[in-house]
Amino acid sequence: MGKKFLWGSATASYQCEGAWNEDGRGLSIWDEFSHHSDKNINNVTGDIASNHYHQFEEDIRMMKEGGQNSYRFSIAWPRILPKGKGDVNQKGIDFYHRMIDCLLKNGIEPNVTLYHWDLPLPLQEKGGWENEETAYAFAEYARICFSEYGDKVKLWVTINEPHYSITSMYGAGNYPPNVKDGQRCIKAAYITMLASALAVKEFRKFSNIGQIGIVHDASPCYGVDDSKETQFAVRMADNLFNNWVLEPTMRGVFPQDMLDELAKYYDLSFMKKENSEIFKSGTLDFIGINYYSRSFIRSYTEGESYIGVNNTGIKSAVDQPLMVMKGMFEQIKDPGGEFTDWDMEIYPQGMYDTLRQIRQRYGDVPIYITENGVGLYEKLKDGRVEDDGRIDFLSKHIKEMLRAKEDGANICGYYVWSTFDLYSWVNGYKKRYGLVYVDFEDDNRRIPKKSYYWYRDFIRSNNNKNWGIEQ
Ligand code: NOJ
C-alpha cells in the first residue's frame, strides 16, 4: 500500500503552549530561565506563548484549511510527569489525547516528539543531562507516552536536535543551565544519546506502534579549500556536528576517529562499556532532519575552544571565527554568503548535499525533513503579512529536497518551521518563523501570512503528482 507524502508544519511545547502553571504542569528549565535568569536577554517568557494550549483546535483547523496532512509537535514532559518521574498528571495525559484526537478527526497525521528541550526542573536540580538517571527517567516517560498514545500515533521522535541543544546548554551557554564547559558538554551529549537509545528499547516492547526516529539539526560541512589540513578540520567538524548523533542512532556506535581526537583533550571515562549494548539495540527507524544552514570550516589556528552565537538579531554582531575547537577546526562565515539578521547563512544547496550524504552513508533509511524555515522580523501591514522572503526561502529549499528525492533519497515528508509564530527561545518573539502570524499584543489573534496561502497552493498543485511511498 502506498503511503502519502506528508506535507506539514511543526512546533514545540514550550515554544507555543503557554498555560505554564495550568492543569498540574510542573516546571521546566525554561520556566526557571525565562523567569529568573539575567541571560534571558529579551526579557520574555513562554508563560502564554502562542496560547496553543487553549487555541489548538483553531490551529488544527487552519492546518487543515492550509492543505497540511501532518503536524509535528512535542509533548511537554513536565505536563505528563511534573517532577520528571514518579507521579503521572492525568490532566496532562488528557490534554494530548484531545490534541491527537482532534488531529485525527481532521485527517492530520501526528508526528510526536518526546523531548523538545523542556527538561523538568527537578531533574536539572539533580544534574540534568549530566546524570545518567535522567536518561532512565526519560525512558520511563517515553514508555508512558507509548502506552497512552501508541495506538493513535504512528510517528515518534525521541529527542529534538541533541547536537544543537546540548551545545547551546553546555558549550555556548546561552541555553539553561548556561554552562560553558567542554568536558561537561560532551558528557551531557553522551547521556542524551543514551536516553534516546533507552527510549527505543521501551518502544520495541510494543507491537503495531509505528516508527521511531530522532531529529537532527543537520549541518553539512564545507571546507574553505581542499588542503589536507582543511579536510581533517572538515571531518572533525562533521563528527561533532553530525556524526555523533547519526552514527549511534543508525549504527549503534560513536565514530572512532572522533573519540580518539576527543580523548586527547577530555576524560571520556563516563562512556561506560556496559552501555554499548544499549546503543547497539537502540538504533532507529527513520531520520528527522532539521535543515537551516551549513557550516563553513577551516583548520584550527590558535586559542581556546569556544562557541559564539548571535541572539541579538543584529547582523554581524558576532565575532569571527564563530566557533573554535582547539586542535580540530574553526567555523567561520563565508565572506560571499547570504545571511539573515541572526547570522544564519541561507544556503539551499546544503539541503540537497545533506540528503545525498545521508543516502551515501545510511542507504534507504526513511527521512523526514522535520523542520525547515527562516526567522524574520515581521509586522502586520493593512492586516496582512507579505512574507515574500519566506516564500523564496521555502521554495528554494523544497526544490533542493525534491531534487534529492528524484536522485533516490527516501524522503517521506516535509515540515515547515513553524506552524504559527512562537517563542524563539533566547531570541524571544521578534524572530518570527510562522506560516501564520500571531498578534501577541492582540489576544494572540491568528492571521495567515502570504506564505501560508503559498504553501497551501503548493501542496495542492503537488498532490496529484506521485509522491506515493511504499513502506
Ligand atoms: C530548531 C529547533 O528545533 C526549534 O525549536 C527552533 O525554534 C528552530 N530551530 C528555529 O531556530
Q: Where are the domains of the chain?
A: 6-230+248-293+342-467
- Give the pLDDT confidence score for residue 462 in this predicted structure: 83
CA–CA distance, 129 with 193 (Å, rounded to integer): 10
Work out the average pLDDT over 184-211. Answer: 97
- Give the pLDDT confidence score for residue 315 in this predicted structure: 82
User: Which atom of ligand 1 is the closest one to the Cα of 292?
Assistant: 9
Per-residue cell: 183: 568536558
CA of 50 to the centre of ligand 1 (A): 15
Work out the average pLDDT over 185-195. Answer: 98
421 pocket-lining for ligand 1 (C-beta < 6 Å): no
Work out the average pLDDT over 130-150. Answer: 98
Distances in Å between the Cα of 369 and the Cα atoms of 7, 13, 297 are 10, 19, 24
- Give the pLDDT confidence score for residue 470 in this predicted structure: 36
424 pocket-lining for ligand 1 (C-beta < 6 Å): yes
pLDDT band for 310, please (50, 70, 90 cuts).
Answer: confident
CA–CA distance, 330 with 324 (Å, rounded to integer): 4
User: Which atom of ligand 1 is the closest one to the Cα of 433?
Assistant: 10
pLDDT band for 109, please (50, 70, 90 cuts).
Answer: very high
Q: Are 266 and 239 a contacting pair, CB within 8 Å?
A: no
> Residue 468: pLDDT above 60?
no
CA of 362 to the centre of ligand 1 (A): 25
- Give the pLDDT confidence score for residue 392 in this predicted structure: 98
> Residue 103: pLDDT above 60?
yes
160 pocket-lining for ligand 1 (C-beta < 6 Å): yes
168 pocket-lining for ligand 1 (C-beta < 6 Å): no
Q: Is 2 exposed, middle or buried (0-12, 13-18, 19+ CB in 10 A)?
A: exposed
Superfamily of domain 6-230+248-293+342-467: Glycosidases (3.20.20.80)
The preferred substitution site among 417, 422, 433 for testing ligand 1, maximizing ligand atoms within 8 Å of CB, is: 417
The preferred substitution site among 215, 245, 290 for testing ligand 1, maximizing ligand atoms within 8 Å of CB, is: 290
Please state, as a whole number, how many other Cβ atoms lie within 10 Å of the Cβ of residue 69: 18
CA of 350 to the centre of ligand 1 (A): 17
423 pocket-lining for ligand 1 (C-beta < 6 Å): no
Q: Are 159 and 114 a contacting pair, CB within 8 Å?
A: yes
Q: Are 300 and 327 a contacting pair, CB within 8 Å?
A: yes
User: Which atom of ligand 1 is the closest one to the Cα of 215?
Assistant: 3
- Give the pLDDT confidence score for residue 442 in this predicted structure: 96
CA–CA distance, 138 with 458 (Å, rounded to integer): 38
User: Which atom of ligand 1 is the closest one to the Cα of 117?
Assistant: 5
CA–CA distance, 255 with 241 (Å, rounded to integer): 12
161 pocket-lining for ligand 1 (C-beta < 6 Å): yes
Nearest to 437 by CA among 389, 377, 392: 377
371 pocket-lining for ligand 1 (C-beta < 6 Å): yes
310 pocket-lining for ligand 1 (C-beta < 6 Å): no
Per-residue cell: 461: 498543485
Closest C-alpha residue for ligand 1 atom 5: 12
The preferred substitution site among 293, 309, 369, 424 for testing ligand 1, maximizing ligand atoms within 8 Å of CB, is: 424
- Of the CA atoms within 13 Å of residue 125, those in its CB half-sphere come to 8
- Give the pLDDT confidence score for residue 466 in this predicted structure: 52
Whether cis (ω within 30° of 0) applies to the bond prior to 321 is yes
Residues near 105 by Cβ (< 8 Å), separated by ≥ 6? none
Nearest to 68 by CA among 149, 13, 11: 11
- Give the pLDDT confidence score for residue 446 in this predicted structure: 98
Sign of the Cα torsion 273, 274, 277, 279 reads negative
3-12, 105-114, 141-150, 193-202: the lowest-pLDDT one: 3-12
- Give the pLDDT confidence score for residue 268 in this predicted structure: 98
Residues near 218 by Cβ (< 8 Å), separated by ≥ 6? 242, 289, 290, 291, 354, 358
CA of 12 to the centre of ligand 1 (A): 8
195 pocket-lining for ligand 1 (C-beta < 6 Å): no
- Give the pLDDT confidence score for residue 277 in this predicted structure: 97
Distances in Å between the Cα of 6 and the Cα atoms of 289, 318, 369, 412, 459 are 14, 37, 10, 6, 10
The predicted-structure confidence for 270-307, as pLDDT tens digits, reads as follows 999 999 999 999 999 999 999 999 999 999 999 999 99
The 3-state DSSP class for residue 345 equals strand
Work out the average pLDDT over 18-28. Answer: 98
CA–CA distance, 89 with 81 (Å, rounded to integer): 6
Active site residues: 161, 371
40 pocket-lining for ligand 1 (C-beta < 6 Å): no
Work out the average pLDDT over 162-182. Answer: 97
The predicted-structure confidence for 313-328, as pLDDT tens digits, reads as follows 888 777 789 999 999 9
Mean pLDDT of the chain: 95
CA of 154 to the centre of ligand 1 (A): 23
290 pocket-lining for ligand 1 (C-beta < 6 Å): yes
The predicted-structure confidence for 414-435, as pLDDT tens digits, reads as follows 999 999 999 999 999 999 999 9
Work out the average pLDDT over 222-231. Answer: 98
> Residue 263: pLDDT above 60?
yes
Q: Are 339 and 317 a contacting pair, CB within 8 Å?
A: no
Compute the CA torsion angle 190, 191, 197, 198 (nearest 10 deg): 160
What angle, rounded to 10 degrees, do the helices at 182-203 and 132-149 form? 30
What is the helix (H) or strand (E) element at residue 10, kind and residue range? strand 6-10
Per-residue cell: 36: 529568573
Q: Is 355 exposed, middle or buried (0-12, 13-18, 19+ CB in 10 A)?
A: buried
Closest C-alpha residue for ligand 1 atom 11: 424
- Give the pLDDT confidence score for residue 464 in this predicted structure: 55
> Residue 1: pLDDT above 80?
no
202 pocket-lining for ligand 1 (C-beta < 6 Å): no
CA of 2 to the centre of ligand 1 (A): 31
Work out the average pLDDT over 94-111. Answer: 98
Closest C-alpha residue for ligand 1 atom 10: 424
